[in-house]
Amino acid sequence: MSKVLVPLADGFEEIEAINIIDVLRRGGIEVIMASLGSKKEVKGAHGVNVLADVEIKSVDVSTLDMIVLPGGWEGTLALKDDENVQKILKTMDKDKKLIGAICAAPLALHSAGVLKHNYTCYPTIEKEIREDGFSDKEMVVEDANVMTSRGPATAICFGLQIVKKLAGKEKYQEVKSGLLATYCQ
């Protein structure tokens, strides 16, 4: 079974985090939700509190197949500035493991130096990263070991693309059908 880390910082975008976690778990993927600090309760950008499984500092990176960062501006800035998250991103990239980010979170990938040339993100965030390589045409952009997505409305499709990558096309089709996500490609 594949294992994915989803770090959660206060100010994370709830739709993105919860949709991704839910879709991955429906796909039979183990998801570890990690808080940045010792407090396991993490407050989303719209006041939804989520209880993380572990603290980020206790995560064994060698057991992970992927890390996925949800967006939300405050949450993204915290992920960008968190020493543990930045170290994990660099290690995952060095080991050619999968890295994902949605909405504003590609900024945290850029900060770690792991964002590849082609990417997508929430509109205007590309100005904080770089406009070269940015696309607003696709819901999900893949470049090498990095997957990026646009924002809340693309979270299910992003989760499904991760399922396809980690669990295969058959599981992807099964989960996609169950979600009635006919709009996802």
Task: Specify which residues 34 forms β-bridges with.
Answer: 7, 54
To the query of whether residue 121 is one of the catalytic residues in this protein, the response is no
- CA atoms of 159 and 161, how far apart (whole Å): 5
Give the closest residue to 75 by CA, choosing from 53, 114, 48: 48
165 contacts: CB under 8 Å, gap ≥ 6:
98, 147
Structure tokens at 16: 């993105």
DSSP 105: T
Q: Is residue 3 classed exposed, middle or buried when 0-12, 13-18 and 19+ CB atoms within 10 A define those classes?
A: middle
> Which residues are tagged catalytic?
103
